[in-house]
Structure 1
């Protein structure tokens, strides 16, 4: 009997939140348009392409299969992105920082250091740029509002990276627990510093989570549920409050 081919997709729940939440906040902050459908499809396929391609860089075993899947996702992504790029050619500018940030992720994958903080930072910047792209596609303009929206998404998801480290790999490090708590306090200050005081509210839950649970032993399932709840509340509150 012929063996059924297994679908190659990312398995980290946090990645699915990061690929969707920034995009949805950007779309809501501007105005939902038909253009968002192919743009999101292309963005999602680019995310799917990055997983097998980075796996191919990381290890030689199964490399051909990973390259085939990655190339297929990438070609499908390019096909989906044609209508948005024709309608809003300036969306192509996002390709420049995305390529540079991906190069950093490739470098870390090649050295098997994907859990390095710099690698997380670059990946989260990449995901946060989706908020700006969706905002632009919805009729928004380049400017402070677009930058603030991307900054809030980056601040939220970077906080999740700090938190997850303090309950897993860096759980026994008092230094990392302090770093996580300081970061979440600064995240509460950020909205006031850039002129969006109501946006402090979406950062209350992650701050409480960090101060209560950072450094404690937690089951992965419980952490996953908390991350999903946090991402949902951030999305809903950002849609309501970001103006």
Structure 2
């Protein structure tokens, strides 16, 4: 099942949170269900493809790629028949996907640049989701996009202090400093709930690496944190 179910646990939050924010901002419509199916299948398809590129083991990843690609093709075609303009969003993602492919080929998927590229991809889904809901306040959609990018960027640094850079004082200091700057930005923005949220994220970045949670415990915690981010963002911005 490891070939079929991505092991990048943080990606599930990045898959869901921007989508939820886009739906909440514009209002849910039936087409959002089909869009989410396509969005999920696109992620599930990209995972074995990138692993195939990284490892060259086509016999291991060909099956999952064919399965998810075969499901994505008719679902995507149906979505484009209903909303042909979404093709422009797909085309806009291609350069970012190319960056992911390059880093996968070099076996450097965990680099910060590759992580940030993925964050922009995942966060950008707020735009087509908002569009499908009939939204026309693009300043609002852009605000939601920026908030997602800022939150998930902080998560990249924070998670590295728990796993790959555990015990690294430079990375730890960088993570805390980033979240401190995030708090300063929230203070400037002037929204109390965002300030409260940034304070919570700052405390998390400072305290959790010192507690010594396991990877599984940290993952469970992040599910709750992502849900909190979505709820407070909806309350603060919408």
TM-score, normalized by the shorter chain, greater than 0.5: yes
Structure 1 residue aligned with 2:14: 18
Structure 2 residue aligned with 1:28: 24
User: Which of 197, 203, 211 is residue 206 of structure 2 equivalent to?
Assistant: 211
CA drift at 1:99:
1.1
Equivalent-residue separation in structure 1 for 2:173 and 2:182 (angstroms): 14
Structure 2 residue aligned with 1:184: 179
CA drift at 1:205:
2.4
1:132/1:149 contact within 8 Å kept: no
Structure 2 residue aligned with 1:105: 100
2:3/2:48 contact within 8 Å kept: no
1:45/1:76 contact within 8 Å kept: yes
CA RMSD after TM alignment:
2.2
Structure 1 residue aligned with 2:40: 44
2:3/2:60 contact within 8 Å kept: no
Structure 2 residue aligned with 1:60: 56
Using a 3 Å threshold, how does the CA distance of structure 1 residues 132 and 199 change in structure 2: closer, same or farther? farther
| Gap runs ≥5 in structure 2 | none
Using a 3 Å threshold, how does the CA distance of structure 1 residues 116 and 83 change in structure 2: closer, same or farther? same
Question: Structure 1, residues 201-235: CA drift from partner, whole Å, max 9, x if none?
Answer: 33332221002124663311221122111111111
Bigger Cα displacement from structure 2, 48-57 vs 12-21: 12-21
> 1:130 aligned to 2:125?
yes
Equivalent-residue separation in structure 2 for 1:6 and 1:114 (angstroms): 18
2:193/2:232 contact within 8 Å kept: no
SS class of match (1:89): coil
Using a 3 Å threshold, how does the CA distance of structure 1 residues 119 and 6 change in structure 2: closer, same or farther? closer
Equivalent-residue separation in structure 1 for 2:80 and 2:90 (angstroms): 11
CA drift at 1:130:
1.4
CA drift at 1:48:
0.1
| Gap runs ≥5 in structure 1 | none
CA drift at 1:191:
4.2
Structure 2 residue aligned with 1:140: 135
The TM-score with structure 2 as length reference comes to 0.90
2:175/2:205 contact within 8 Å kept: yes
SS class of match (1:156): helix
Equivalent-residue separation in structure 1 for 2:183 and 2:89 (angstroms): 28
SS class of match (2:134): coil
CA drift at 1:52:
0.5
